[in-house]
Amino acid sequence: MSGLSLERLKSFADIVAAGGISAAAGDDSNRQSQFSRQLKELERYFGVELIKRGRGPMKLTPAGEQLHRVISHTFGSLQEFRRHCANRPIELSIGAGESLIQWMLLPRLAQLVAEHPQVTVSFQNLRTDEILKQLADDGLADNTIVFFYGDNGRGLPRAKRWVYDSGMRVPLIIRFPDGRDAGTVRDDLVSFVDFGPTVLSLAGVKVPEHMQGRPFLGDRKAAPRDYVFAARDRMDETYDIIRAVRDKQYKYIRNFECTHAIELAADVAQSPSARDMIHICVGRKHPPAELYDLEADPAEANNLAEDDALRDVRHGLEKRLFDWMRQTGDALLEGPVPSPYYGTSIRELSLG
C-alpha cells in the first residue's frame, strides 16, 4: 500500500454509517467486493482489525471505535467526512486524549498530506496556546526556546517499550522566539539523550564530556548522527532483552531472548485494545536478528536479516551496535540479565 488513502477512509466511513458492508453496497456485488478489499487494506495498514467479522449487527473493535472517533472528532459526523472527500479542503484534527489509531496515524500524516494537497493537520487540546500565552504574560516569551515533542505512545504491541519505529519515533518541533528557521523541516537522526546537550549548547554552556548525547543546535552543535540506538529490558514484570541500531535507511535488531514467546505487560495484555492486537505477540518467538529497509518497508514487516544481498549492511550495523554497547557499559557484556522470575524462584526455594 502506498499510503493512507482518503478513499479507504471514506469506505470505512460508508460501512460504519450504513451498519455494515452489505448495507453500504446494497445488491451491487462489485461494490461489496470493493468495500471488503478496501477495509482489509486499511486493517493491514494499521495492523489491527477494525470491524468484527461474523453474523448479526456490525460491531466495531476498540481500534475501529477509535478510528471512528478520529473521523467524527474532525468532521462532526461520518456524513460530513464523506462530503469532504470530494477534493474539498480537509483538516485532520488530532486530539491529545485519543490513543491507538491517532498515534499510529502520526508517522504517516506527512505522506497523506503530500499525496492529497487539500489535507492539513491540526492538533487539539494540547494546551500549547495556554503555555505560550503564559510565557508572554510572564515576560519570558522573547528569551524562551520551546521544545514541543511527544511521548512514545501507549504500551501496546510494537508501540511504547518496543524498538520498532512505531515505538521509537516521536514528533519534535522547536520554536525560537525570533522565529528563525520557521517552517524548516530536518531529517537529522536525533535521540532523547541529545536534548540535554542541545539545551546547554543553545544556552552557550559547555557540554560536559560525560554526557552521551550530542547537541544538534546551538554554538556547540555536533556533526549529525549517523546512527541512533535503542534498548528493551524489563517492562514491569515483563522480561525481554533487545538492542537495536538505526541509520536513515536500515534498522538492525538483536534479540537476546529467543526461547520463550513474546510477552506483554499484564496491564497491557488485559486491555481491550491489546486483546484485538494479541495475534501480534501470542505464541510468537523472536528471531535472533531482524533487519528492515525502512524506506521500502516503514512498517518493519519484512525481516531481511537472512538476505545475502544485505550481508554487508547487517555486519556493519552489528559492529556499530556492539561498539555502542561497549561505550555505554551495557550490562549484557558481563552476562545475561536475570529474568524477574529468577529471584522469586530462589526465595521460594530458600523458604522451602
29-46 and 6-18 are packed helices; what angle lies between their axes, rounded to 10 degrees? 120
Predicted local confidence at residue 91, as pLDDT: 47
pTM (predicted TM-score): 0.66
Predicted local confidence at residue 185, as pLDDT: 86
Predicted local confidence at residue 71, as pLDDT: 65
Is 1-126 in CATH node 3.40.50.1220? no
Check if the beta carbon of residue 105 is closer than 8 Å to that of residue 70: yes
Check if the beta carbon of residue 314 is closer than 8 Å to that of residue 305: yes
Long-range contacts (CB closer than 8 Å, 24 or more residues apart) made by 144-150 = 144/177, 145/174, 145/175, 145/176, 145/177, 145/202, 146/174, 146/175, 147/172, 147/173, 147/174, 147/195, 147/199, 148/172, 148/173, 148/174, 148/175, 149/173, 150/103, 150/106
Predicted local confidence at residue 74, as pLDDT: 52
The whole-angstrom distance between residue 237's C-alpha and the CA centroid of its chain comes to 23
CATH 3.30.1120.10 domain extents, the chain: 228-332
Greatest Cα pair distance in the chain: 72
Kindly give the parts of the chain with pLDDT less than 50.
1-3, 76-78, 82, 84-110, 118, 124-125
Predicted local confidence at residue 257, as pLDDT: 84
Predicted local confidence at residue 62, as pLDDT: 75
CATH 1.10.10.10 domain extents, the chain: 1-126
The single residue listed with the C-alpha cell 455494515 is 20
Predicted local confidence at residue 98, as pLDDT: 40
- Which one, of 188, 181, 245, lies nearest residue 214 by Cα? 188
Architecture (CATH level 2) of domain 228-332: 2-Layer Sandwich (3.30)
What separation in angstroms does the CA of 165 have from each of 71, 180, 207, 337?
25, 29, 28, 25
